[in-house]
A and B are shown apart, each in its own frame.
Chain A
Amino acid sequence: MSDTLPRPRVLLTKSFIDSHDRAIETIALALRDAAMEVVLIDYEQPEDVVTVALQEDVDVIGISFMSGGQVETTQKIVAELARWDVSDLPIVVGGIIRPFDEPPLREAGVANIFRGGAPLSDVVATFEALSRSYRGLA
């Protein structure tokens, strides 16, 4: 394996303290199988999620939602990214996203919204494309 091939780096986090790990782990493994390095954390405060994203120098942040906070948490993360002057770091949200969440999420600037059941290949392709464009490649 080439250890100098730059690999996309991604942060995946859950949005609340819940034990429903299956979805986020499925995505993490799919991204790993697509040759990405996935930093997986549990729930952390929005400000801390951004700290982790910066320390890990990731290309994309993926947030998994189940039981609420879809808009509020996302907005807090967007605000924190702006505070650090890294507003171009893309955010993808997934899981239980209600129709009325979508307009404010899009307005907050999320790059993609994936409902549960979205094809894994679409999710993987999206993360790859966002990572490439964040790194300024292709």
Chain B
Amino acid sequence: MEGVCAGDTLAMARAITEIENGSLAGVELGLAAQELNPRTATLGVTGPPGAGKSSLINALIGELLPRFARIGVLTVDPSSPVSGGAVLGDRVRMAAHSANPGVFIRSLAARGHLGGVTRTTRKVIDLLAAGGMELVIVETVGTGQSEVEVAELTDVKLMVCAPGMGDEMQAIKAGVLEVADLLVVNKADLPDADRTANFLRAMLMHRGDAEHRVALKVSTLRREGLAELAGGICARLERAGERYAPALRTDPPQAALARDTAELVMAMIRETADPAITALADDVAGGSIARRDAARKAIGLLARDVG
């Protein structure tokens, strides 16, 4: 953990691996990071595949670095439902920033978790914050209805689409469109960009608060609209800082304790070498003890081990 707080790249990277793997070390690191209560600005970037999110983030980092000295990027891609593996290719578009020690980019596989992010993304964000990141950008794939978890995790949310996406435009009506703060029409150098932007603006008017939520056109190819987008993001981040109250800190104390304890217990039982517990697991699998009895017994055994 000291390595993380010193901003050490290896320490942060290995900590993220442990947290994502739900190991005992990972659970403890996650809890330690959250306890430090590190405050970092967070930006969510979602939208259909092919919208150009990674390229946009690549360009945005350049615009935001003067304002945020250290920027972390988490880019989440789905895992194969067949094999459980994943090809994580988003950072191809962000290669310009590999040489910058102020930028930390990490690719994460969703590992079957629905909602667009991973089960432990919140903790990874807190870990990056503990490591000195002033802004964490979370990129996920989302067309709308189900990938809204990124909205709960981030202060400001961008929804990015590209012109002429046809059916995808219909799909993004509900869900993400409702929670996004800024709607971005990327690849605005393509035809139909104006029509797409107007369509989005019209939908925003329907829902009210159009003055807060805006549709912007951006072209990373022509480097247009980027400064305006960055300005819009920073303005909203400043406002969000005043009212941000993450759910974890408003949970009743006993519920929070229950949740932390449950995580620790899960990791401990999975990793323990205590022969009494492994024998118990075999007994359950073999059917000689009921599951609920075994679970209670496991708590007792664990309590004895923890002392």
Contact = CB atoms under 8 A, between A and B. Distances in A.
In this complex, the interface size class of chain A, counting residues with CB under 8 Å from chain B, is: 20 to 34
Interface in A26-71: 28-29, 31-42, 44-45, 47-48, 51-52, 54-57
Interface of A: 1-7, 9, 28-29, 31-42, 44-45, 47-48, 51-52, 54-57, 84, 86
B112 A1 contact: yes
B137 to A, nearest CB: 14
Given A1-B112, A55-B106, A33 B82 contact: yes
B17 A33 contact: no
B85 A42 contact: no
Given A41-B95, A52-B91, A54-B10, A32 B83 contact: yes
Interface stretch (B28-36, B97-105, B198-206): B97-105
B37 interface: no
A3 B13 contact: no
Contact of A44 (B80, B98, B109): B98
A31 B82 CA distance: 13
A29 B84 contact: no
A84 B118 CA distance: 29
B27 to A, nearest CB: 10
Contact of B107 (A1, A42, A45, A56): A56
A44 to B, nearest CB: 5
Q: Is the interface of B mostly helix, strand, loop or mixed?
A: mixed
A39 B17 CA distance: 14
Give the top 3 A-B pairs by smallest Cβ distance, nearest first: A1-B112, A4-B22, A48-B98
9 contacts: A1-B112, A3-B22, A4-B23, A35-B83, A39-B88, A42-B92, A51-B9, A55-B13, A56-B107
B84 A7 contact: yes
Nearest to B119: A3
Residue among B17, B22, B87, B113 with the most chain A CB within 10 A?
B87
Interface residues of B, number: 38
A41 B9 contact: no
Contacts of B107: 37, 39, 56
B270 A32 contact: no
B87 A28 contact: yes
Contacts of B113: 3
Given A3-B22, A33-B85, A56-B107, A9 B92 contact: no
Nearest to B113: A3
